[in-house]
Amino acid sequence: MSSRSLNIHIVMVALLLVACGKEAYDDLIHEEHAPGEIRVTNYIFKSYLKRLPIKSITPIIFKVRPIGIAGTCSIWSNGYREISIDPNYWVNATDAARLEILAHEIGHCDYNLDHNNEVVIDKELGECPASVMNDTNFSDPCFTKYFNSYMKEFV
């Protein structure tokens, strides 16, 4: 196998294994939020947020995340919260995957939801996550089929 072919296989496997940060608060160890600093949601996320029937007051920004991590919710000791989405994940993500990662991280930051890795058996699709809070990004076809059910988690 050529090195180029090997690299392509590695990238494909990495994209399939992209997940939410295992620890929602990893950033606390690595950086401090500057007192008085105000961050706002990147305008690119606005049209996606309008399509989600959930509310968020947490700023959402692009920030390179560790390999295999699509997004994180960071909460500082002063209560400041921020959602970081990896730009490399975003560029390569489908529309459904983008909506899913935003809903998932909003679930952590705005609704204090933990990961839920339960599954449901679908006659057509096989196993689908029972929750948008699944710790692995799964997107379509499950996300689209069960979108309304997933959004009920935020009530």
pLDDT tens digits for range 11-40: 333 333 455 654 444 444 334 555 566 678
Residues 6+ apart with CB under 8 A from 116: 129, 130, 131, 133, 134
- The band of 6, judged by pLDDT with boundaries at 50, 70 and 90, is very low
Pairing of strands 69-75, 19-20: parallel
For residue 87, being part of any structural domain is answered with: yes
- pTM: predicted TM-score of the whole model, two decimal places: 0.79
**Containing structural domain, residue 139:** 19-154
Asked, for residue 10, whether it belongs to a domain, the answer is: no
**How many structural domains is the chain composed of?**
1
**Whether the Cβ atoms of residue 120 and residue 130 lie closer than 8 Å to each other:** yes
